[in-house]
Structure 1
Amino acid sequence: MSEVTAGIEQGTSALLSELPESMVGIWRRTMEPEGMVYRRDPRFANEFCHWAQVDRIPARKSGTRIVYAGESGARGFLLDPFFRPSAYLEQMLSQLEESVPVEVIDLARVSIKLKDLMKVCTECIQLEPDVLIVYAGDNWRKSLWGLTDEEKHQVLDVLNRGGEERFQGIQAVFEHKSEGFIVSFLEQLHQQYVLQGIPVILVIPEFNLKDWRSSKSDRELVWPQGEQGLWLEMSNQLDRYVHSGQLEEVQKLVDRFIELNRANPKGYELLGRLQYGEGQTREARQWLERARDTSVYRLGPPPACTSFIRDQLLTYSHKYKMKVIDLPAVFNRELNGGLPGFNLFLDYCHLNPEGIHLMVSEIASTICEALGHDQLPSSILNNRIKPEAKTQSKAHFYAAIHSAHIGDQPYEVLYWHCCEAMKHWSGIADWFVALADLSARKTPWLLNQSYKTICTPQYVILRQFRDCMVMDMDLVQAMLQCLKEAGRDIESEINDLRIREHAPELGETVDLLETYYRENSYFNVFAGSKSVDYNHRNQIYYSARSHTSSFYLIADPKQQLLVNLTLRRQHIPQDDNQVLIKVNGVKVFETLLNEHWSSHSFSLDRGLLLDSGVNQITFHWPNIDQVVEDMASAIQAKFDPYEQIIQRARPVYGDIFKLEICNIYPLKEG
């Protein structure tokens, strides 16, 4: 037994010894006239929205009881509670020719962690199941970052050695840790269920390989070791080749681009989409899976089941005599080798009605086999149940929001979802208007009447973080375009509203370091903090973690503004130390950076500002290649091992203490 496995098992034993036997998840056992039932415990009311919307689990009766646990994908996230896989499964199994009633107990939870899933699976033995279904694997990646001291030093050791092998070395640490988690988890299920004659069915998730895009943050250079200049040059060249359709040139350059930084998804994605466009679907799948697998190097969303987690689940489920539904293989079969995309998914991993149907049909067939029942006839397995049109419309509406807030997806993806929402239900147009109003205002969502229009149980995490408010520029623009195509043009109204809310009036200033102006999603919030610099919750200045930093500048196009700026760079190279600032792509200012804070002011001419009122001010920071070793030494002297890993993953290109726009000039008409 490995040291990692032993440590996990010891921790698990300690956890299980503290479990109250009267609880299953958030449901507390209570005796009622019909027998032992479980009701949601009011003490966990703040968690109710995250769990399956089941108020009461009835007493065990004669018949077949199936317990269904897992992550948000198991819940049917974005369709639940109006269209649930568990209810679909129960309806399908109820058509068995045997006269035995079937009930499916839904215990799935959004964003459930591995240790909590293990806890629920241990507790639900009290429900006396005939079969346990566990849908999991997407959220386990984050558990890998709970590094032991030994693992932290292993990662730092491979970083210090450098070279192309550093990424393989880091992944090897995660693979070893993952194996320990999985062995411990499956061994526990084996002891508690399989050896007692209760079948366990594992469902391994698939990922939206074809249509999901890595975010801008995903595609930033991580753990640079002197290749930033070359990597950026090649990245820009690849963009030009793709834009001009020079696919042969992309093919020549992209292999070297990947070698420079194997933790970056961009090169893999380019190769995958290139192969897919040429009809080489199998090769495209391999590259797109490798792009997805780079998520192991990042803490932020979206979750994904990596290839090594899938392989380990397949290997050890066989050892522990569990049945497996491998959705990647199932979908590959159903699509005749095609790639899974929006044909089966609503976003990165959450299934649409067709994907849910295929999954549930496979689960139903596996249950029949496990219990020795006759197989369901194809007429039942192929009978597709569709949610109501309004439910499907809202699912696409919420998928657009989720894809923007969590995945920072491009405009094209958001626009597609908005169009699909309109196809299913024209009433969603009012919801588009409500979201546009919410996003344009500084008023917190909960205080805005429009919030009541779009907040329903179908999307349990529709929220606005108090210290990370965003204006949803691309998302709102996609909705405005759909409204315009439907004959309802409110774009000028929203532009005017933004200017009233965010542009500085005469004598006033606006702080562009507020999240309204520096964030377009909640991506950095989920990376671990909500402060100005997402790596440090209490830091009071902004730290640039990439070679460019962009901010929204909202202003009346007739205004002439003054920009006040205070910035620095803590490690100064011998040359190439100039920061360049552009507004809407036009150079407006440049200056040399100092190790100490320096302040500057410059004006913006009216001709630079766009009629819409939405402008962008972008900082182009100098190269860090000459100082990357100095940065690593400074990080080592200042931070503990875990923080060293995080800091070195994305070193600081520059700091901004003040970025204000001031309106000190009288407005001139004409």
Structure 2
Amino acid sequence: MPPTDPTHSITERLSRSLSGPEGTLALARMQVLGRPVERSTELTAPTPSGTEVGVWRLADGRLRRDTGRRDEWRYWADRPEIPLRPGHRRVAVLGESATRGYFFDPAYSLAGLVDTALDGTGVDVLDLARTNCSLAELLRTAAEALALGASALVVHAGNNWNNVDPTPTERHELALLLEKGGFPAAAASFRDLVTEVAASALGVLRELAGDVPVVLVVPEFNLGDWTDEPILDCPALPAGRMRRWLRARDEAERALRDGDLAGARTLVAEMTGLDGGSSPVSHRLAARCAASPDEALSALRAAKDAVVSPFAIHSPRTLASVQEVMRRKADEAGFHLVDQAVLFREGEAGAPGRRYFLDYCHLTFDGLRATALAVAETLGAALELPERPGTDGVPVRAAPDRLALAHFLAAVHNAHYGQPEDVLRHHLSRALDADASVADRFEDYLDYQTRIAPNWMCSSYERSTQDPAFRRYMVVGDGRLNGKLADHGLREVMLDVLESRGVPARRRYEDLLVAEHRGTTDLLADANLATTFNERHGAGVGPRVAYLRASSPRTRSTLVVEEPAPLVLRVTWRLPSEVPAGSVSVAVNGHEVGTAEAGTAWTTWEFTVSPDILRRGRNTVEIHWPEGGDGTDTLVAGAPARLECGENVPSHPVHGHVHDWSAIRLVPVTV
């Protein structure tokens, strides 16, 4: 037999071996071995062009916005040109959306208030903060500002520094920790990585700045008010721990209601032992039963940090460990420090809340002003200005119309992060207190968010976008910020507040709601089911699927009816593969309308709803999933391999899957 070339058959057999899950994992590991070890901490100083900074290009002694980067303009200061006056020293203010004065922008920003305080000192303040600014972009902008002759840098950043994309080597290391200690261990290691990256970035900043003074502003967080949404309550826990954790949570809350602090502490300690410190709920409960204000403050900081991981999506924030690195590096590098934790101490525990924050990290006018005055004072010393920066010119409060709109936008943003009703009511009431004419924006919102048509097609939305601050937040091209969500709770609070001020909006809104949403209803549509950004179709971590992964024991949607009449709820569902078969129930307005056995195969059920439990307008429809098993063991077991293969791995349990969920009105048959 003549010799044959075996290459083809070997390649074919190797391809078959590598095509399965184990082969994919082996290939991922070979790729890691085949390249040099890479670390996220290996940052290098960017090289500026010397002719541009941010979205501006240098021409004829002025910085003019680059028309080729028009899509980015809305993230930066609304300045077509930035003059570079001869003989004036330049201070560059760098940062993120909090620095931009989110919700106030473009009327007020940190740089603008610092500029007012430094008026007459021969110093020009360049507003180079960018909404959604990454760590890499911050360093690049710093290099560009220094290349243009900045005499000092002000850096107010850190909330976006958690967005570290682990290298293949780091993914392998996180996968090993997942195997040994589950999501809590891997998340803790990731937070260490974020801290190391921050330290490296501050080292690069020191290298870039040289002898140029740097004022480092350490961001604080809304520890007093902010509550992470329920989807982030606790990551998946194996071996029955989740069920015990849930029971301990209920018992701890009951003990706190009864005033049994000692009993609550014991139960909270059990919860923390079960979740490894990875749940914000455990830490918030610990703060409520803390033995001292300092202990409560530490627990609130731990709650803020607990959700930071590569396995979940959460609001921006600065880790406590990163704050400490900023303080330490400032001392080592000779940076001048402005620490918002010191500026914003509030209440018995010192936990800052709504006086200084509009949401998780964006500042009220009080917060912006306090930070700006501290920065200006620090710059005066750093630049050895002959005159102390003045405070008289810095407004004590925002213009009424700007303050009103900021609180209105804050209410919308808070609602879309699942904040409680009292927070929404606070901001909406403050808005009307500041300027009663903001009620027009309330009514516009009630109109365009209720209609089925896209917002940009609604005249009410067009009216609101005439305001530049509104345009900056509710951007036409950003579906995340202006898409339709099931913000019925927000709209109800708006109506309550308007009616309490003598604005008769409820009847008009309810008639519009019925007119737009009556008839057959898709209960899985974002406008009916998604109350937060995290609950939208396609949101979250993990591979995209064509069905809803229920992240709560109860899946809730909204059904709008014109007049109560018999209807059918049709639902196609299944349980995750690791959950034993169990009974699933459906309820309307708190009344159970049926139960059915569900398993891991897709099944479709129909439930008839009697008109006597319905009401005109908005009705609540719920699916109650069985407790069954944890539904977490498979998630934990499969996560390490998926992480090594470069997938985004979700860490929070799923209670059920829903492919279709609709309401159909029964049409009477006439004979």
Q: Does TM, normalized by the shorter one, top 0.5?
A: yes
CA distance in structure 1 between the partners assigned to 2:636 and 2:397 by the alignment: 55
Question: Is 1:659 the counterpart of 2:661 in the alignment?
Answer: yes
| Structure 1 segment 412-451 matched on structure 2, within 5 A | 412-451=422-461
* Contact 2:199 2:329 (8 Å CA) reproduced: yes
Residue equivalent to 2:493: 478
Contact 1:483/1:489 (<8 A) preserved: yes
Q: How far apart, in 2, do the equivalents of 1:444 and 1:520 lie?
A: 17
What CA distance in whole angstroms lies between the structure 2 residues aligned with 1:570 and 1:385?
56
Classify 1:227/1:22 alpha carbon distance in 2 versus 1 (closer, same or farther; 3 Å). same
Task: String of CA shifts for 1:162-186, please: whole Å, max 9, x gaps.
Answer: 37xx62553134313431x223322
Shift of 1:331: 2.3
Structure 1 position 285 matched with structure 2 position 292: no
1:522 aligned to 2:526? Answer: no
| Greater Cα shift, 584-593 or 217-226 | 217-226
Choose from 44, 63, 78 the match for 2:69.
Answer: 44
RMSD: 2.9
Which moved further from structure 2: 396-405 or 84-93? 84-93
State the partner residue of 2:193: 176
Alignment pair present for 1:605 and 2:618: no
Per the TM alignment, residue 357 of structure 1 is displaced from its structure 2 partner at its CA by 1.8
Structure 1 residue 26 displacement after superposition = 0.6
Q: Is residue 462 of structure 2 the alignment partner of residue 452 of structure 1? A: yes
Q: Aligned residue for 1:76?
A: 101
- Partner-residue secondary structure (3-state), 2:124: strand
Deviation at 1:585, TM superposition (A): 2.4
Find the counterpart in structure 2 of residue 110 from structure 1.
Answer: 131
User: Is 1:155 paired with 2:174?
Assistant: yes
Residues 498 and 348 (structure 1), Cα distance of their counterparts in 2 relative to 1, 3 Å cut: same
1:294 aligns with 2:296: no
Please state if 1:555 is matched with 2:571.
no
**1:227: which partner in 2?**
241
Q: Is the 8 A contact 1:65 1:103 kept in 2?
A: yes
Q: Which residue of 2 aligns with 1:311?
A: 324
Q: Which residue in the other structure is 1:398 paired with?
A: 409
Are the counterparts in 2 of residues 281 and 339 from structure 1 also a CA contact under 8 Å? no
Instruction: Give 1:69 shift.
Output: 0.8
Amino acid in structure 1 at the alignment position of 2:155: V
Give % identity: 25
Shift, 1:614, TM fit: 2.8
Cα separation, partners in 2 of 1:642 and 1:110, compared to 1, 3 Å: farther
Identify which of 343, 355, 377 aligns with 1:330.
Answer: 343
Aligned mates of 2:546, 2:188 — CA distance in 1: 34
Deviation digits for residues 446-465 of structure 1, max 9, x if unmatched? Answer: 10011123333214131476
Contact 1:27 1:39 in 2 (8 A): yes
**Quick one: which amino acid aligns to residue 433 of structure 1?**
E
* Equivalent-residue separation in structure 2 for 1:642 and 1:422 (angstroms): 52
CA spacing shift, 1:242–1:449, aligned 2, 3 Å: farther
Query: What aligned pairs does 1:113-512 form with structure 2 within 5 A after superposition?
Result: 113-143=134-164, 146-162=165-181, 167-179=184-196, 181-194=197-210, 197-242=211-256, 249-261=263-275, 262-275=277-290, 280-297=292-309, 299-332=312-345, 338-373=350-385, 376=388, 380=391, 384-405=395-416, 407-455=417-465, 456-459=467-470, 460-463=472-475, 466=479, 469-504=484-519, 509-512=520-523
Counterpart of 1:345 in structure 2: which amino acid?
F
Residue identity in the other structure for 1:258:
T
Letter in 2 for 1:50: Y
**Could you tell me how far apart the structure 2 residues matched to 1:386 and 1:331 are?**
17
Give secondary structure in 2 for the equivalent of 1:128: coil
More off after superposition, 387-396 vs 54-63: 54-63
Aligned equivalents of 1:229 and 1:595: distance in 2?
20
Report the CA distance shift for 1:221/1:174 in structure 2 as closer, same or farther (over 3 A). closer
SS of residue in 1 equivalent to 2:232? coil
C-alpha change, 1:545 and 1:458, in structure 2 (3 Å) is same
1:337 positional shift: 6.6
What is the CA–CA distance in structure 2 between the aligned matches of 1:10 and 1:292, rounded to whole Å? Answer: 27
Q: Which residue of 2 aligns with 1:569?
A: 575
How many Å apart are 1:239 and its aligned residue?
4.1
Q: Is the CA contact 1:228–1:623 (under 8 Å) kept in the aligned structure 2?
A: no
Q: Secondary structure at the match of 1:210?
A: coil
> What is the letter of the counterpart of residue 172 of structure 2?
H
Secondary structure of residue in 2 paired with 1:217: helix
Q: Matched residues in 1 for 2:288 and 2:411: separation?
A: 22
Given the superposition, is the C-alpha separation of residues 63 and 572 from structure 1 closer, same or farther in structure 2, using an over 3 Å criterion? closer
The size of the alignment, in residue pairs, is 629
Shift of 1:245: 5.8
1:156 Cα deviation after fit? 2.2
Residue 21 of structure 2 corresponds to which residue in structure 1? none
Q: Distance in 2 between matches of 1:557 and 1:105?
A: 59
Report the Cα distance in structure 2 between the residues aligned to 1:48 and 1:5, rounded to whole angstroms: 37
Q: 1:434 to 1:414 in 2, by over 3 A?
A: same
**Which among 630, 633, 638 is matched to residue 629 of structure 1?**
633
Structure 1's 431 and 224: CA in aligned 2 closer, same or farther, altered over 3 A? farther
Q: Secondary structure at the match of 2:607?
A: strand
| 1:193 maps to amino acid | A
CA distance in 2, matches of 1:541, 1:336: 47
Letter in 2 for 1:579: V
Residue 646 of structure 1 and its aligned partner are, at CA, apart by 1.8
Give the counterpart letter for 1:329 in structure 2. Answer: V
Post-superposition offset of 1:576: 6.0
Which 5+ residue runs of structure 1 have no aligned equivalent?
Answer: none
Q: Is the 8 A contact 1:470 1:517 kept in 2?
A: yes
